[in-house]
Amino acid sequence: MTAALRNYLIITGNYWAFTITDGAIRMLVVLHFYQLGYSPFAIAMLFVFYEVFGIVTNFVGGWLGARIGLNRTMQVGTALQIVALLLLTVPGDWLTVFYVMSAQALSGIAKDLNKMSAKAGVKLVAGAADDQLFKWVAWITGSKNALKGLGFFVGAALLAWLGFRWANVALAALLVFGLLATLRLPEGLGAMKQKPGFSAMLSQQPAINWLSAARLFLFGARDVWFVVALPVYLVSIGWNFEWVGGYLAVWVMGYGMVQASAPSLLRNGRHPVGPGSAMLWISILAVTPMLIWLGMVLKFEPAWVLTIGLGVFGAVFAVNSALHSYLILRFSPADKASMNVGFYYAANAGGRLLGTVLSGYAYQTIGIEGCLLISTGFILTAAGFTWGMNRNLSLTPSVS
């Protein structure tokens, strides 16, 4: 086994363990507090700090990774997630809204430190070949999302089997193994020889700015119905926790498998994979939530409309996400990978924050149909920024 492959497998293994806990926490909190009688908007508020601190962490984490190494930022992120899980094991009377929001803030910091470290780390260990980079980033991203889907099911199942407190203990134990594995990563992975100032975090490349803006609205379009609206809607029509967790798990796992397969799917086309591919696929995605909305308005069977419609949405969204994850690394020089990835994922976290808040509020005020209309508008906005990226793209020959 080459050193590059070994390091890639360590990064991926830690990211897998972390991702299972991240998906499980999300499902645990949504279902547990809905069971306690919290409104959809109140549940959404529990995740506000998670997303807000994610935005900040991506900015700071990218800069920090360039100074101390991605191996260290990954270890810090994993350790913080263990602490966040253990904070949720306190007696039930302690679990006030502010307390849970604070624990979720720590989890948000941990998640984005880990994600930034993993994605930027792939750029460093994959080498210069575009094909290798696309395959490895698609695989780590796709497998991560498949395991996040598994995490949804694990969280729902652990809640039913062990209860809220012991479910969090079990997840913390899983992460200890991931933390130990990262100790074998090279010291100072991705650290710059000349330590950058914090102002270097602001991207000077137009392509990265356009892509980051598109990413913000792309993920807002997903989370506006996915985070709170969909699981609460399914419980409201009579689904039990295991069915809700299983349904969302299958959706995200399928989404992850498509994402991991994106290089094979796109390489079969006649045109090379690049910025133009992102424009094509965001245009296709814009149609899907509108068709789901139409099926709901026409009173078709909701279970069938959601199962088929969201299956199509997930597959097309997966290709879009894989293309974005590839392009941000392709646009980034190796010595600036952590900072550019941090800037880009700050926009990603901003989209999740926007979608999360709207998911609870929009569902409570205009229902699942309203969430789908907002999703359509966000995708069209993302398409506009993607068009701007293609029109104004100014890259060096090595990445154009």
Write the DSSP assignment of 96-125 as a string of letters. Answer: -HHHHHHHHHHHHHHHHHHHHHHHHHHHHH
pTM to 2 decimals?
Answer: 0.71
Q: Let me know: does 64 contact 198? Beta carbons within 8 Å.
A: no
φ, ψ dihedrals at 179, nearest 5°: -65, -45
Q: What is the full per-residue pLDDT of the chain (400 aa) written as tens digits? A: 577 778 888 888 888 889 898 889 888 888 888 888 888 778 878 888 887 887 778 777 766 776 777 788 889 999 999 999 999 998 888 888 888 888 888 888 898 888 878 877 777 776 655 567 777 777 777 777 778 778 888 888 888 888 889 999 999 998 998 898 888 887 766 565 555 554 555 556 778 888 999 999 999 999 998 878 888 888 888 888 778 878 887 887 788 888 888 877 776 555 667 778 889 999 999 999 999 999 988 988 877 887 788 889 989 999 998 888 888 887 776 666 667 777 888 888 889 889 988 888 888 899 888 999 999 999 999 999 999 888 876 544 444 4
Q: How many CA atoms within 13 Å lie on the side-chain side of 66?
A: 25
DSSP E strand stretches across the chain: none
Number of helices (H) and strands (E) in the chain: give both, helices first: 12, 0
d(CA 321, CA 258): 10
Q: Let me know: does 152 contact 24? Beta carbons within 8 Å.
A: yes
